[in-house]
Amino acid sequence: MMLTRAVARPAAGLRAATFRAPATLRPRALPVTWARGMAKDNKPQSPRFSKRPAQKSTPPSNGAPASAPKPVPEPPKQPATPQEPDQDPIPDLSKLPDLTQGIPSTLEYETAGATDRSVLAAIEEEEGAKAGGGGRSKGELPASAYVSSSERRRQKLVMWALALTGVSAVVGVAYLGRDWDEEELSKNPEVPNGWSIGLWWRRAMARMGDTVTYYQEPAFEKLLPDPDPSFERPYTLCISLEDMLVHSEWSRDHGWRVAKRPGVDYFLHYLSQYYEIVLFTTVPFATGEPLVRKLDPYRFIMWPLFREATKYKDGEIIKV
């Protein structure tokens, strides 16, 4: 360390004397080894201070004009287009419904087909095709993903029920279209036996018609039995129950009430000497039988006939 200082002092004095000397007596080059050895801190500087500011270029000493730097052309600036925010269209208030008189009916809108599922499905498919194709936009789940498990089970049960119904219908028609036996063939001579599809279908319809007729025709073919000679009357009188012997009315306080007509007892007792009295009514047996038993305790009415003795035709009950 002492040796380094001793060397540096003469070098510093020589450097100062050299700069004070005239330019003609200055040496061409000075040793630079002294500056490297005398540096107090030889640590590398941080990258932040490694870049030095650009020094201004000085004109050359020989008097030649310095070339000016060429300006760099800037790119043309495009005029900024102002982006207007999306604004919803202003609705026409004159077309809105008037709710001061109550909520208007939507029957006309629904009957026009605007709420038809097929139309809405077509619109959704068209919108999905415009969005990206495939019926739905990218990243959107299919419609089956929004169906719950209970709804899937319900749909599955419905499909099984429909399939079972179809199979039962086919088996039922095949069973009803079988050949007649001797008794059935005597009742239906216009439909013979055979294996053709037409005859099979006609026999099935005939058997089904017989089943429906059981509920449309009277319970028995002969409504009145043969008269007994001991109780035989020269004439038969057929009377009705409702609005002739009794009158029914309903009120909020008492509900249904049945009132007997005045003079009914005398009427039945007197006419039973000369007529065979038959009661014919469209009231069911379960409803009319208690009324008749209470209205006629002495059994002046010999033969009561109820709805089971009527005939159902063209949606009406007929007394034949």
DSSP-derived letter for residue 192 is: -
- At 96 the pLDDT is 75
Separation between Cα atoms, residue 125 and residue 133, nearest integer Å: 9
Q: Are 248 and 258 in contact (CB under 8 A)?
A: yes
At 229, which amino acid appears? Answer: P
Q: 3-state DSSP call for residue 77?
A: coil
Q: Which residues of the chain have pLDDT under 50?
A: 1-4, 6-8, 14, 16-19, 21, 23-25, 27, 29-40, 49-50, 53, 57, 63-64
Annotation: CATH topology of 229-318: Rossmann fold (3.40.50)
Closest CA to 278 of 245, 316, 243, 239: 239
Query: What is the per-residue pLDDT across 137-172, written as a single tens digit (0 to 9) for each?
Result: 555 667 777 788 898 999 999 999 999 999 999 999
Q: 3-state DSSP call for residue 307?
A: helix
User: In this structure, what are the phi and psi dihedrals at residue 235, rounded to the nearest 5 degrees?
Assistant: -130, 160
Q: Please state the pTM of the whole predicted model.
A: 0.42
Strands 246-251 and 255-260: antiparallel
Separation between Cα atoms, residue 289 and residue 295, nearest integer Å: 10
Separation between Cα atoms, residue 274 and residue 190, nearest integer Å: 47
Residue spans of the domains in the chain: they are 2-38, 151-216, 229-318
The alpha-carbon radius of gyration of the chain (Å, integer) is 59
Separation between Cα atoms, residue 242 and residue 291, nearest integer Å: 11
Question: Both ends of the chain: CA-CA distance in Å?
Answer: 150
- At 115 the pLDDT is 67
Separation between Cα atoms, residue 3 and residue 37, nearest integer Å: 12
